[in-house]
Amino acid sequence: MAQNNFFMKKEKNKQPRDPLGEASYTAKDIYVLEGLEPVRKRPGMYIGSTGVDGLHHLIWEVFDNSMDEAMAGHAKNIAITLLPKNFIRVIDDGRGIPVDVHKQTKKSALETVLTTLHAGGKFGSDAYKISGGLHGVGVSVVNALSASLTATICRDGIEHEQRYARGIPQGPVKKIGKCEGSGTAILFAADPQIFEKIEFDLPKILAHIRQQAYLTRAIKITIIDARGEDTGKGGVALEHSYSFYFEGGIASYVNYLNRNEAPKHEHVFYCSKEVEAGSDRKIFVEAALQYTDDLQGHEVAFANNIYNGEGGTHLTGFRTALTRALNDHARKNDYLKKDDDALTGDDVREGLTAVISVKIQNSTLQFEGQTKSKLGNPEARTAVESVVSEALKEWLEQYPRDAEAIIGRAILAQKARKAAKAARETVLRKGILEGLMLPGKLADCQSKKPEESELFIVEGDSAGGSAKQGRDRRYQAILPLRGKILNVERARLDKMLTSKEVKALIIALGTAIGDEFDEKKLRYHRIIIATDADVDGAHIRTLLMTLFYRYFPSLIEHGYLYIAMPPLYRVQARKNIRYVYSDEEKDRTVVEFQKILADAKNQRGKKGKVVEEEAEEAENEAGEGGASGETETAVKTGMVKGIEIQRYKGLGEMNPSQLWETTMDPAARTMRQVNIADGAAADNIFNILMGDEVLPRKKFIQTHAKAVKNLDI
């Protein structure tokens, strides 16, 4: 469109109005946010969210500054303390943030760093050649989102302090005395005006800090939980302290990740080297690996101590080097005879635990996207590939028994892959021949639109019969499973596909599996596991979740998997009926219903003879009433006069209308959506609960046995 036509004249007095009714749009409508205002206006842009992850991100940003001092070789100790009233203190023995006047801002360097976005020593100077964090944004963002923050600096024997409230200085930097050594201490309290809930999670903090401690060897990091409430006598509860210090670095990290697995070889492979990556640029490469009996692979990649969940060029370089080195060694030692028998990447990654870490100069560090979940530096691939190829070749020659165990495992995986491919083709071919790829036991829905369709996976024919009668057949499909499916944590894909129940589920989903998996072909966007509320039901639910986590993880990531929450009890007192979901809720409901029955007694004579007769009936039903010890005992045994308590042990005990009302009706049901908050933690839990090693599972059961509720023995 020509410019003259684009800027056409508009008729007078007929200016278009926006949906909110604002008639003008002039210079006065343009707002300029200064200082830290953008952070408080849009905190999610800087820390991701104002929920639990964003809250903990404040700790990570302050901690990253201390770790940058450690990576630069200036700090050896870092301490994080959780204090009462949600205060957090992070202290290190680094050089200390400068306090002299900054020539550009005319303020102290400390105030400049704490109040100016993109200000710090990680941009133009050589103070930090390698760093993580937000590269100068971090600590100023923490200041902006804290109700209060106090920075204490020790430099040149003098201790300095400056205080802030919601990012605003409460005075200049002050000298408060003498000090020994050097370092920085940041004390802050997250702002309740910004965050939905302020509650710091110690296990979450420990997991993150432990990981960081492995990545920077020989740095001592201490976490102190001193949040104990005041005893009223001036004291507080005892502190809990945790310290991390790893001389082995990422080799120790591999041992930690494999703590619940049986290793296939004795020695952990480790290599490290700094290589040239262009004119005046270097990349420091570290890699460590070990194989276990686990059927899954676990690769963890970092760039400048930042976790890259989606991998990137450094992970690609590592995989290329690993596959080539193992194939070369296998052919050299006659483990492989033909070129077409070459081990693939999938073969060599089965059972692999690997950690890859690169450190790149800040000026050249590249990530794909704002989340930094994928490294984009092409030179990182070349650097990692060359370092790992050379080191792994030597290591395989040095430890021939370890090499034989690793290659033997990979060849076994290769054979299983070929068998699984044949089995997959058989499943798909058989599914097509059976007609529309649908198993006979599936009661499908009428809708062909995945976004409005849902699949209930139920336990047994009895529950399947009730669900089929109670469902809305327009959009609800039912797939009954007979018995417990195969534990896929302990079985390869070829064996898994011999299970009739697993095959029926795969065909019903429509996505296929393994190399042929295609999420776009998913037939239902709500996959609901509906098992009985007993031990067997919980076991079947766990087996199904293991299947989805190991072979259909993207369905969980995109929110397609749910757990149905059927009621445990049906409580009825005359015409009052309520479904309850726990023993505690049942007890409260019984007491409430007793009160209703007792209140009816007090209505005698107020509304005539009919009311009196009803009250007498209620009195007879209620008995003595009240919440005495005798009544509490009756509630626990399920026998309360005037109140009927029905315990559901299985969905098959419900008639179709009850199943619809409680578990299947979208307007009334309760479901839990399955998600993966922490992939590494989830992987470890599945290994413990469903893997071959008995001892870790025994310890887990002993640790958590007392927390089990509604145990059906």
**Which CATH number characterizes residue 551's domain?**
3.40.50.670
CA distance linking residue 713 with residue 707, whole number of Å: 15
**Which listed residue (111, 347, 385, 459) is catalytic?**
459
Q: Is residue 231 situated within a structural domain?
A: yes
Domain count, the chain: 4
Three-state secondary structure along 596-626?
Answer: HHHHHHCCCCCCCHHHHHHHHHHHHHHCCCC
**Which listed residue (161, 532, 619, 621) is catalytic?**
532
Nearest to 151 by CA among 159, 38, 118, 84: 159
Decide: 642 and 573 in contact? Cβ < 8 Å. yes
110-119, 154-163, 427-436, 671-680 — which one is most confidently predicted on average?
Answer: 154-163
Does residue 53 carry a pLDDT above 60? yes
Question: What pLDDT was estimated at residue 130?
Answer: 52
- pLDDT tens-digit series, residues 247-260: 999 999 999 999 88
86 and 175, same domain (yes or no)? yes
Question: What pLDDT was estimated at residue 6?
Answer: 45
* Overall average pLDDT of the 504-519 stretch: 88
81-95, 485-499, 636-650 — which one is most confidently predicted on average?
Answer: 81-95
306 and 370, same domain (yes or no)? yes
Residue 57: pLDDT band with limits 50, 70, 90: very high
Residue 679: pLDDT band with limits 50, 70, 90: low
Pairwise pLDDT comparison (702 vs 61), residue with the higher score? 61
Burial class of residue 144, CB neighbours in 10 A (0-12, 13-18, 19+): buried
Boundary of a domain, candidates 382, 417, 452: 417
Does residue 27 carry a pLDDT above 60? no
Q: Which of helix, strand or coil describes residue 20?
A: coil
Question: What pLDDT was estimated at residue 93?
Answer: 95
Question: What pLDDT was estimated at residue 35?
Answer: 65
6-20, 296-310, 673-687 — which one is most confidently predicted on average?
Answer: 296-310
Q: Is residue 15 situated within a structural domain?
A: no
CA distance linking residue 364 with residue 379, whole number of Å: 10
Q: Is residue 665 situated within a structural domain?
A: no
197 and 112, same domain (yes or no)? yes
Question: What pLDDT was estimated at residue 624?
Answer: 43
Q: Is residue 423 situated within a structural domain?
A: no
Residue 530: pLDDT band with limits 50, 70, 90: very high
**Which listed residue (299, 461, 536, 617) is catalytic?**
536
**Averaged pLDDT of the chain:** 82
Residue type, 343: L
Query: Which range among 268-282, 434-448, 620-634 shows the weakest confidence by mean pLDDT?
Result: 620-634
Question: Own/partner pairs for 241-248, CB < 8 Å, 24+ apart?
Answer: 242/206, 244/209, 244/210, 244/213, 244/220, 245/213, 245/218, 245/219, 245/220, 245/221, 246/213, 246/214, 246/217, 246/218, 247/217, 247/218, 248/217
214 and 255, same domain (yes or no)? no
Decide: 303 and 285 in contact? Cβ < 8 Å. no
CATH classification of the domain holding 291: 3.30.230.10
What's 662's DSSP letter? I
Nearest to 173 by CA among 187, 188, 158, 157: 158
103 and 237, same domain (yes or no)? yes
Does residue 95 carry a pLDDT above 70? yes
Question: What pLDDT was estimated at residue 47?
Answer: 86
- Other C-beta atoms closer than 10 Å to the C-beta of 624 total 11
Q: Which residues contact 16 (CB under 8 A, 6 or more apart)?
A: 10
Query: Which range among 20-34, 159-173, 271-285, 451-465 shows the weakest confidence by mean pLDDT?
Result: 20-34
462 and 529, same domain (yes or no)? yes
DSSP states of 375-432: B--HHHHHHHHHHHHHHHHHHHHH-HHHHHHHHHHHHHHHHHHHHHHHHHHHHHHHHH
Pairwise pLDDT comparison (636 vs 495), residue with the higher score? 495
Q: Is residue 93 situated within a structural domain?
A: yes
CA distance linking residue 662 with residue 470, whole number of Å: 11
233 and 308, same domain (yes or no)? no
Pairwise pLDDT comparison (569 vs 636), residue with the higher score? 569
Q: Is residue 652 situated within a structural domain?
A: no
What's 374's DSSP letter? S
Residue 493: pLDDT band with limits 50, 70, 90: confident
CA distance linking residue 551 with residue 555, whole number of Å: 9
CA distance linking residue 55 with residue 46, whole number of Å: 12
610 and 683, same domain (yes or no)? no
% of the chain beyond a pLDDT of 90: 46
Residue 104: pLDDT band with limits 50, 70, 90: confident
* Overall average pLDDT of the 361-389 stretch: 84
Does residue 620 carry a pLDDT above 90? no
Query: Which range among 29-38, 120-129, 343-352, 579-588 shows the weakest confidence by mean pLDDT?
Result: 120-129
CATH classification of the domain holding 128: 3.30.565.10
Boundary of a domain, candidates 227, 244, 261: 244
Per-residue CA distances from 598 to 435, 601, 632 (Å) = 61, 5, 16
Residue 110: pLDDT band with limits 50, 70, 90: very high
639 and 590, same domain (yes or no)? yes
Residue 707: pLDDT band with limits 50, 70, 90: low
Q: Determine whether 534 is an active site residue.
A: yes
Residue 60: pLDDT band with limits 50, 70, 90: very high
Q: Where are the alpha helices (DSSP H) in 23-108?
A: 37-41, 44-47, 52-71
Q: Which residues contact 1 (CB under 8 A, 6 or more apart)?
A: none
54 and 155, same domain (yes or no)? yes
Q: Is residue 5 situated within a structural domain?
A: no
Burial class of residue 73, CB neighbours in 10 A (0-12, 13-18, 19+): exposed
Q: Determine whether 261 is an active site residue.
A: no
Residue 539: pLDDT band with limits 50, 70, 90: confident
625 and 498, same domain (yes or no)? no
Pairwise pLDDT comparison (239 vs 242), residue with the higher score? 242
Question: What pLDDT was estimated at residue 561?
Answer: 95
Boundary of a domain, candidates 244, 272, 298: 244
- pLDDT tens-digit series, residues 642-661: 788 988 877 888 889 999 99
Does residue 63 carry a pLDDT above 50? yes
Q: Checking DSSP bridges between strand 306-307 and strand 643-647, what pairing results, if any?
A: unpaired
Question: What pLDDT was estimated at residue 411?
Answer: 92
Orientation angle between helical segments 609-622 and 583-601, nearest 10 degrees = 140
Query: Which range among 69-78, 332-341, 394-403, 506-515 shows the weakest confidence by mean pLDDT?
Result: 332-341
127 and 156, same domain (yes or no)? yes
Question: What pLDDT was estimated at residue 573?
Answer: 86
Decide: 645 and 638 in contact? Cβ < 8 Å. yes
CA distance linking residue 536 with residue 530, whole number of Å: 12
% of the chain beyond a pLDDT of 70: 77
Decide: 454 and 477 in contact? Cβ < 8 Å. yes
**Which listed residue (92, 93, 534, 621) is catalytic?**
534
* Overall average pLDDT of the 354-369 stretch: 83
- Other C-beta atoms closer than 10 Å to the C-beta of 621 total 19
Question: What pLDDT was estimated at residue 162?
Answer: 96
Beta partners for residue 432, in sequence order: none
Decide: 302 and 316 in contact? Cβ < 8 Å. no
Decide: 638 and 587 in contact? Cβ < 8 Å. no
Residues 144, 146, 148, 153, CA torsion sign: negative
Does residue 396 carry a pLDDT above 90? yes
- pLDDT tens-digit series, residues 472-485: 999 999 999 887 88
Q: Is residue 29 situated within a structural domain?
A: no
What's 229's DSSP letter? P
Query: Which range among 186-195, 222-231, 341-350 shows the weakest confidence by mean pLDDT?
Result: 222-231
Question: Domain range spanning residue 601?
Answer: 569-647
Pairwise pLDDT comparison (478 vs 42), residue with the higher score? 478
Q: Which of helix, strand or coil describes residue 348?
A: helix
